[in-house]
Amino acid sequence: MSTIEERVKKIVSEQLGVKDEEITNASSFVDDLGADSLDTVELVMALEEEFETEIPDEEAEKITTVQEAIDYVVSHQ
């Protein structure tokens, strides 16, 4: 069973087409991993599917780094 961190990073890797080793917890989706606005929306939707949760828009806007995504999932388990 993968940890939340591993699952989040896997989604980020698949969605943004970046290699696992390029992704750190501090990585910013836009600044470090080259995501555009559509990528970030898709990323949030992928997280919603993976963790079977709904992320409201105002919360989604605050998820800009890998760590923020992990934190969100952990605190909404």
Partner 1 sequence: MSIEGKVALVTGASRGIGRATAYALGKMGAIVVGTATSESGAENISQGLAEEGYKGKGYVLNVTSQDSVDSVVKAITEEFGAPLIVINNAGITKDNLLMRMKEDEWDSVIDTNLKSVYRVSKATIRGMTKARWGRIVNISSVVATMGNMGQSNYAAAKAGLEGFTRAMAREVASRNITVNAVAPGFIATDMTHALPEEQHNMLLTQIPLARLGQPEEIANAVAFLASEGASYISGETLQVNGGMNMR
Say which of 20, 32, 36, 57 is annotated catalytic. 36
Binding track over 31-60 against partner 1, x by CB under 8 A = -----x-x---x--x---------------
Q: What is the 3-state secondary structure (H, E, C) of 7-64?
A: HHHHHHHHHHCCCHHHCCCCCECCCCCCCCHHHHHHHHHHHHHHCCCCCCHHHHCCCC
- State yes or no: is 36 an active-site residue: yes
| Shortest distance, position 75 Cβ to partner 1, whole Å | 25
Using CB under 8 A as the criterion, which residues of the chain lie in contact with partner 1 when the complex forms? Answer: 36, 38, 42, 45
